[in-house]
Structure 1
């Protein structure tokens, strides 16, 4: 064998592990992680950005995303091991804790920091005052859910007793609320996006106030998992949180048009102009958290809201149900 050929073969053999490592890094060596989102919503834009921009993949994660449709179903899926991580309201972790769970559910990365619902009126109101709601029929959200609690908290702040001053309707499923309002139920409705923007575009209602602005900062939607999973899969959770933080920074830095373009693959049945309008509304009211830290002051505000709604047996310890170590490391890592 000639010297030139021998050198060429040695070079090829030396290069193979490098090539294989490169290939495995792009997909073959990825860790699978299953996310269950409580609903499909533009409110969770950072999550879809992390997916569409490849941030999870670059961290070596193969994400399987399912919509688990409702807080109860999402938590059941998490506790049963059907999913690894839940994106859901942080109040659900408190409910599990109140039931005396041996393996508590821990919040480790915040995604949204305000309520995501809006007050929609059937009639256009140029000069709205909250006192106008007194004596009206109000189509609210499910009792015990964070939207309803934030809604009631806001109403009480405005001097309205939800149980006495309104005809309060709470027995309509979340998915059917827009249709119920469109068909004539209620003078006012508490509604998520993009349904509020769609109703507005169709001329069937008008957005007149934001419950997110009025109820203050909250750890509204958070990634959480069982403490046992967190302990056994710390490296995976760190990679996951790194990707989330990158997406949050991306959303904070980019324009409404760019964000809408990034999330639109997950909302193929929604008009692009509606997507842009919703992103703009949430971005302007600072609903998207800019880092994954679950702030203690916001956690206490959440429990104030729950307590006001009569849904809190006892206050949950912040350090027991929140672990910010992964969020802190993600922020520090990004600085290097």
Structure 2
């Protein structure tokens, strides 16, 4: 009897050991995903929350993030296979489509839903009026990029012809725009956070308007991947979208101070109060998408903006370049 009991305990021990080994081995089975972001910006706060709060790991993903400044460079990294997923403006997927790509780039999870730039004036204008820009030197963004197109869309909305009513400078690399303004170029500049708040603190400029508020809802920054990758790695794309949705909910449910504290490891050279100010600005104007689904009306607004900028060859129906299946599944299943 004792011998039988000993054999039974031995068998249980072996089973328990195997179970524990299986649990421990799950860490080694994390699925690798290489992500390329177009810039390092507070604008993308929910993405950094997904890292810091472990939402990617909860989904069994080992996500490697790299920053590739400029939409063209980030898209090149995606098309070449240097990254699996890219965080870029949705307009870049349209550019690829317009070139007749056999492997189109598909938008599957929206992160930001408005423009993220602010109009910064060198001098305090007192009461701001858009007419003050007429005849001024305006330091804009790269031609064909979403910041520049949304900026021009807003200027035209206020009866300002970007090509005739002001001197528009747009030949400076994205990474150097802030330093160019700081060194004396331009009377007005279009800046993302936290640079806008930093310039205000340092007395180098004054935020006078929001292009995000002015240009309306847009699929401004979206996670996208090649159609071939999506077909071959549907499980990974779904897990990735789940993690992003968890982060989006977390940002909406927590204070700007908590979000700033959480994402601070990604902005080690930026003061916490500046991060908080930037997050607060974006939350107040509804910049961070509350869920990853890309709405058709926002897509159509994007087409209007691109058309106005002369960058659209044809209006592309959202179903050609948008796949909301992963986003809808995340919204309906993530608790």
Bucket of the pairwise TM-score, normalised by the shorter protein: over 0.9
Per the TM alignment, residue 246 of structure 1 is displaced from its structure 2 partner at its CA by 0.6
Counterparts of 1:85-96 in structure 2, within 5 Å, are 85-96=85-96
**Which residue of structure 1 aligns with residue 57 of structure 2?**
57
Between 1:16-25 and 1:144-153, the stretch displaced more is: 16-25
Contact 2:69 2:175 in 1 (8 A): no
Counterparts of 1:178-327 in structure 2, within 5 Å, are 178-327=178-327
2:71 aligned with 1:78? no
CA distance in 2, matches of 1:256, 1:330: 24
Counterparts of 1:17-28 in structure 2, within 5 Å, are 17-25=18-26, 27-28=27-28
Q: Secondary structure at the match of 1:147?
A: helix
CA distance in 1, matches of 2:177, 2:214: 22
Contact 1:139 1:170 in 2 (8 A): yes
**Which residue of structure 2 aligns with residue 155 of structure 1?**
155
Q: Secondary structure at the match of 2:88?
A: strand
CA distance in 1, matches of 2:294, 2:36: 19
CA distance in 2, matches of 1:257, 1:274: 10
CA distance in 1, matches of 2:305, 2:205: 27
Gaps of 5+ in 2: none
**Which residue of structure 1 aligns with residue 69 of structure 2?**
69
Q: Which deviations, in whole Å up to 9, do the C-alpha atoms of 1:167-193 show, x marking residues without a partner?
A: 111111111111111111111111111
Q: Which deviations, in whole Å up to 9, do the C-alpha atoms of 1:87-145 show, x marking residues without a partner?
A: 00000000000000000000000000000000000111221111111111111111111
Q: Secondary structure at the match of 2:199?
A: helix
Contact 1:24 1:30 in 2 (8 A): no
CA distance in 2, matches of 1:41, 1:61: 22
Contact 2:69 2:174 in 1 (8 A): no
Per the TM alignment, residue 3 of structure 1 is displaced from its structure 2 partner at its CA by 4.5
Q: Secondary structure at the match of 2:323?
A: coil
Contact 1:197 1:277 in 2 (8 A): yes
CA distance in 2, matches of 1:282, 1:2: 70
Number of equivalences? 334
**Which residue of structure 2 aligns with residue 44 of structure 1?**
44
Per the TM alignment, residue 21 of structure 1 is displaced from its structure 2 partner at its CA by 2.6
Per the TM alignment, residue 69 of structure 1 is displaced from its structure 2 partner at its CA by 1.2
Per the TM alignment, residue 68 of structure 1 is displaced from its structure 2 partner at its CA by 1.2
Kindly report structure 1 stretches of 4+ aligned residues shifted beyond 6 Å: none
CA distance in 2, matches of 1:216, 1:148: 15
State the TM-score, normalizing by the size of structure 2: 0.98
